[in-house]
Structure 1
Amino acid sequence: MSITKLPDGRWFVDVEPIKGKRFRKRFKTKGEAQRFETTVRQKCAENPAWSIKPKDRRRLSQLVQLWYDLHGHSLRDAPRRLSKLQQLAVRLGDPVGTAFDAASYAQLRRKRLDEGISGKTLNNELGYARAVFNELRALGEIDYANPLAGVKLLKLQERELSWLTLEQIAELLEAIRTGCDNPHTEPVTLLCLATGARWSEAEKLTPHRLQGNVVTYSGTKSGRVRHVPIQSELADRLRAHWKASGPFTSCITSFRRALERTTIHLPQGQASHALRHTFASHFMMNGGNILTLQKILGHSTLTMTMRYAHLSPDHLQDAIRYGPLARFPAS
């Protein structure tokens, strides 16, 4: 008989539907054992080469490495993302992929949120983890649904963008000129203010990427190459600086120290990025076009650039023109 009851109460199936091809498995109930025997005989009758697919016991860390080998290595931030995913696997206890569930991830996220990890960091982490399962499923490496598909992103409080007034720009430049020991700090600051570049983009600019009065940024966050014209005086100054002091080196620490010597107070984490916000804000306040600003900043979507739309003179005047008091004379 192919089905027998074991001393521990379970049922053991030992079936050989085709000579030389044997299947053995234990079940909790006799019904499960009988269904298994019937399925095996039917499958082998239809296809003699058929065999039971072994359970997928690969752990999350193994899936992450497989994702990296097949796809992740081609991403611009590949090493950093791999590191983040490996750390996540450790924090979760490195579960078997098929047993990984949304609840366990949500519990970990709650704990990390209580520990002070920012919502943006946690949302990025969720996006990275989802991508692993989506990509492996698309490649046929896993046959189960993404366990994180139903986990929602955290709702984040939109941060106010801090930008400098003309007076604050003058104060900052004065602090840089009179107290910085790094000669590269001032030209990098001017580049950020003139082109809306991220600090890292301006800092990596090399002489051959300044052609005439046009600066070219490559290797950017969005992966797009940007061309931004600058004043001829600034272009001449940059060439003279590179000739005298060589290519830019890291000077963000020098910039932060100069900022500390001013009366300017910026939200945490917006020190160098405030220069990018300053360019965009003044661009819009001076009547610039939002689509042009998107190209200059290199935003992949207009949604990101729309954060500055409220600074447009027309936008501000609309508050007066279309507000409820527009129909009542001031008295």
Structure 2
Amino acid sequence: MLTGPVYARAMTDSAFSTDPFIRARIADWLRDLASVRRLAPRTLEAYGSDLGQFMGFLARHMGGPVSLQSLRELRGADIRSFMAQRRGDGVGSRSLARALSALKSFFGFLEREGTLATEALNAVRTPRLARTLPKALSVSEAKDTIDAAQAMEERPWVAARDTAVIALCYGAGLRISEALALTRADLDAETLRVTGKGGRVRMVPLIAAVREAIDAYIGLMPFSPGPEEALFRGVRGGPLSPRLIQLRMQQLRGALGLPPSATPHALRHSFATHLLGRGGDLRTIQELLGHASLSTTQIYTALDTEHLLESYVRAHPRG
């Protein structure tokens, strides 16, 4: 059952704009997103806020709390008016696309529950999103970043910890949240069990250099977390905050002269880009990164082509 501050914030925007029946359906939908679809708390909160803003718009548009009858009378023009108002408020295409996704999820839930079916959403186009290419480090920059992490900290176990986390981002393509969630039980001699977005579990090969970095950290760590507890710990023994790794990367950028785009997530991008450049196929890279859709992974083909063209122009005599 969904409770706590995320649920409270997600319901706030709908509290005065819907009747009790619709509020109860929204609560059921949020519980379904949390327990069945297992959305991350931030995504859950964002979806709840998006739906709440839509319900507030409808209440003002229709002159009273939104009821089941209000939703039966919903037209595509109503949704387009809501989207136009949000864009007028300065909301970008990505946030608008997420809002539309939230509406589709809620109305899809109502249809599955046998409460309501509507065609209104079919008349609304998803906002076009600009595809942005991730900023990847070069192979030498990525290696230098891992090597330099060892020299940035006087406490050997902390230096080994930060080195291991950064090595996981580049050597295994992990998100920083995935690296910090690892437990001893997730480690095998040759593989990692990684829990990614949406609770999806994948197995990632553990190359020797990354395994050695993890083993060095475990050998120096002054704490003994249980097999199901987070492996990476802060100086007081609690789970390590991602902010500390981000700050470490900030220090490394300054020391190595790297651009501001050199973040822990850039190391994950570098992992994928370098694999593709060495002949890795998209399906394999998709599995390693934990992408639900191949289209998400395909952005790396554009990135690698861009790098190829840059190298050609630099090297060609007529470039």
The answer as to whether partners of 1:163 and 1:281 remain within 8 angstroms in 2 is yes
- What's the TM-score, normalizing by structure 1? 0.66
Distance 1:250 1:118 in 2: 33
Is the alpha carbon distance of 1:87 and 1:296 closer, same or farther for their aligned partners in structure 2, counting shifts above 3 Å?
closer
Q: Of 218, 234, 259, which residue of structure 2 is paired with 1:265? A: 259
Counterpart position of 2:25:
63
Aligned partner of residue 212 in structure 1, secondary structure: coil
Deviations 1:43-99, CA, capped at 9 Å, x for gaps: xxxxxxxxxxxxx97665343123345676322117555533442344232533432
Q: CA deviation at 1:109?
A: 3.0
Q: Whose radius of gyration is greater, 1 or 2?
A: 1
Counterpart position of 1:38:
none
- Counterparts of 1:29-178 in structure 2 under 5 Å? 60-69=22-31, 73-77=35-39, 80=42, 82-92=44-54, 93=56, 95-100=66-71, 101=74, 102-142=76-116, 144-173=117-146, 176-178=149-151
Distance 1:176 1:113 in 2: 43
Structure 2 unaligned residues grouped into runs of 5+: 1-17, 60-65, 224-230, 233-238, 313-317
The answer as to whether partners of 2:168 and 2:179 remain within 8 angstroms in 1 is yes
Distance 1:163 1:69 in 2: 38
Structure 1 unaligned residues grouped into runs of 5+: 1-55, 321-329
Equivalent residues, number = 260
Write 1 or 2 for the structure with the bigger share of strand.
Answer: 1
Letter in 2 for 1:284: L
> Greater RCO between the two (CA within 8 Å, min separation 6)?
2
- Counterparts of 1:245-324 in structure 2 under 5 Å? 245=221, 246=223, 247-248=231-232, 249-261=239-251, 262=253, 263-266=257-260, 271-310=263-302
Letter in 2 for 1:98: Q
Is the alpha carbon distance of 1:288 and 1:72 closer, same or farther for their aligned partners in structure 2, counting shifts above 3 Å?
closer
Letter in 1 for 2:214: L
Aligned partner of residue 179 in structure 1, secondary structure: coil
Deviations 1:26-45, CA, capped at 9 Å, x for gaps: xxxxxxxxxxxxxxxxxxxx
Deviations 1:131-170, CA, capped at 9 Å, x for gaps: 111221122122x415333221110110011100133224
- What's the TM-score, normalizing by structure 2? 0.68
Structure 1 vs Structure 2 CA RMSD: 3.3
